[in-house]
Amino acid sequence: MRGVYRWSWPATPRPGARCRRGRMGQAPGAAGLQRLHRYHLSTVATADNDSPQRPSATPVPPRGGKKKGPARPGASSSRSGGARPSASQRSANNRRAAVAAQRRRRNMLLAITAVGVVIIVIAVLVIVKVAGGGKTNVAVGSGINQPVTAAQYNELASIPASTLARAANNFHDTSSTTPLTYPQPIKGPAYPVDGKPGGFYLGAEYCPYCAGERWAVVLALSKFGTWSGLQTMKSSSTDVFPDTPTFTLLKAKFASKYFGFDHWEQETRTYKPLQTPSATANKLFGKYNLQQGIPFVYLDGKYLINEIQYDDAFFRPGGGQNTPGMSFKAALASVTSGSTALSAHVEAAAGSIVADVCRITHGQPGSVCKYFPKAITSPDVTPGDLATSNG
């Protein structure tokens, strides 16, 4: 058996637990506004009438005299301690008030400008990140969580069904010590999806074997419907076969009038929890997960894939399980070339899945299934071997 991650049932990963390789192996706050000071007018108190008077060359009029009228509002009397400011004082006070108001306006303008600059910077960063042109992901490699373009998807999906059939039926592995593995026949309960026969996939973004198998799954099912929401991904950079280029099915949707398909990515490429499978999928995973690991593909109770079908080393220019994988762009070019070992293996693996799904859909669509007159399964496993599975 080939690459598979050991994973005990139930499928929901334990917090912090990592699967083992199968032995087979905010805007910054704007600057605070400068405190504004208020300028207060000081008045000079006059001497009280009862106080001693300073000698003066000018005679002081006797007490009494002309009766004063009522004081104007706001005017200060000598007994209240304030004399009316002179014209020069009023002018100086007005100038100080004007300077203070100008300072307030300037500080407010500076604060608004600073906030505006911060907002613009944040907006630019967000736009760059959404557009995928930022450098924040360079440290872990490009090709992670980037939307798969229509051109990229069509390049893969355009591989003819006849090519897949020929590869699956006539595949001869001359470049790898591990032969191609085909789906295994089983006798399990059906798995309807939206009223159609269906299946499901369980895997994780970190898993290098899941990374390889997704190429075959996405390619095969493109012959029965259309994928949307696919994103690029790389497997863990700290595991065997690091940075294997692939898709993630985290946000993907599969639409088909022939076959339904559910999928769950249970952990990120850095081993953080993601999606939880349904209770039904978990039960089937526990019963038929003979390899006790992932990837796990269940096809309507009739066929099962419980390991990558080919060698992950083909995603590495120099081969080997410790060499980082090629870019997603390079992998796509290789898979669709029709002339590399990687393309031969992915085509054959996908072709075997198409052949078996055609048995489930009763030969529909005819334009595809006409190339697959019979199922293609592992020759060394019979339905009876898996009928009882794990109990």
Residue 41 lies in a domain: no
pLDDT 10s digits, 318-348:
777 888 999 999 999 999 999 999 999 999 9
Residue 196: predicted pLDDT: 97
Asked if 100 and 153 sit in the same domain, the reply is no
Asked if 198 and 117 sit in the same domain, the reply is no
Asked if 184 and 105 sit in the same domain, the reply is no
Is the pLDDT at 72 greater than 70? The verdict is no
Angle at 107 between CA 106 and CA 109, to 5 degrees: 65
Residue 70 lies in a domain: no
Last residue of a domain, one of 91, 119, 136: 136
Residue 304 lies in a domain: yes
Residue 68 lies in a domain: no
Last residue of a domain, one of 97, 118, 136: 136
Q: Assign 238 a pLDDT band (cuts: 50, 70, 90).
A: very high
Give the residue, 140 or 320, on which the prediction is more confident.
Answer: 320
Asked if 181 and 119 sit in the same domain, the reply is no
Asked if 97 and 171 sit in the same domain, the reply is no
Last residue of a domain, one of 96, 120, 136: 136
Residue 188 lies in a domain: yes
Asked if 302 and 180 sit in the same domain, the reply is yes
pLDDT 10s digits, 346-386:
999 999 999 999 999 999 999 999 999 999 987 644 433 44
Mapping DSSP onto H, E and C, the string for the chain reads CCCCEECCCCCCCCCCCCCEECCCCCCCCCCCCCCCCCCCCCCCCCCCCCCCCCCCCCCCCCCCCCCCCCCCCCCCCCCCCCCCCCHHHHHHHHHHHHHHHHHHHHHHHHHHHHHHHHHHHHHHHHHHHHHCCCCCCHHHCCCCCCECCHHHHHHHHCCCHHHHHHHHHHCCCCCCCCCCCCCEECCCCCCCECCECEEEEEECCCCHHHHHHHHHHHHHHCCCCEEECCEEEECCCCCCCCCCEEEECCCCEEECCCCEEEEEECECCCCCECCCCCHHHHHHHHHHCCCCEECEEEECCCEEECCCCCCHHHHCCCCCCCCCCCCHHHHHHHHCCCCCHHHHHHHHHHHHHHHHHHHHCCCCCHHHHCCCCCCCCCCCCCHHHHHCCCC
Q: Rounded mean pLDDT of the chain?
A: 77
The CA distance from 213 to 242, in Å, is: 15
Segments forming the whole domain that contains residue 98: 82-136
Residue 60 lies in a domain: no
Asked if 115 and 172 sit in the same domain, the reply is no
260-265/198-203 β-pairing: parallel
**What pTM was estimated for this model as a whole?**
0.66
Residue 87: predicted pLDDT: 74
Residue 39 lies in a domain: no
Residue 315 lies in a domain: yes
The CA distance from 284 to 78, in Å, is: 100
pLDDT 10s digits, 73-88:
444 444 444 566 677 7
Asked if 121 and 195 sit in the same domain, the reply is no
Asked if 172 and 96 sit in the same domain, the reply is no
Count: domains in the chain: 2
pLDDT 10s digits, 169-217:
877 545 555 578 899 999 999 999 999 999 999 999 999 999 999 999 9
Asked if 120 and 216 sit in the same domain, the reply is no
Asked if 300 and 248 sit in the same domain, the reply is yes
Asked if 171 and 312 sit in the same domain, the reply is yes
Q: Assign 120 a pLDDT band (cuts: 50, 70, 90).
A: confident
Is the pLDDT at 123 greater than 90? The verdict is no
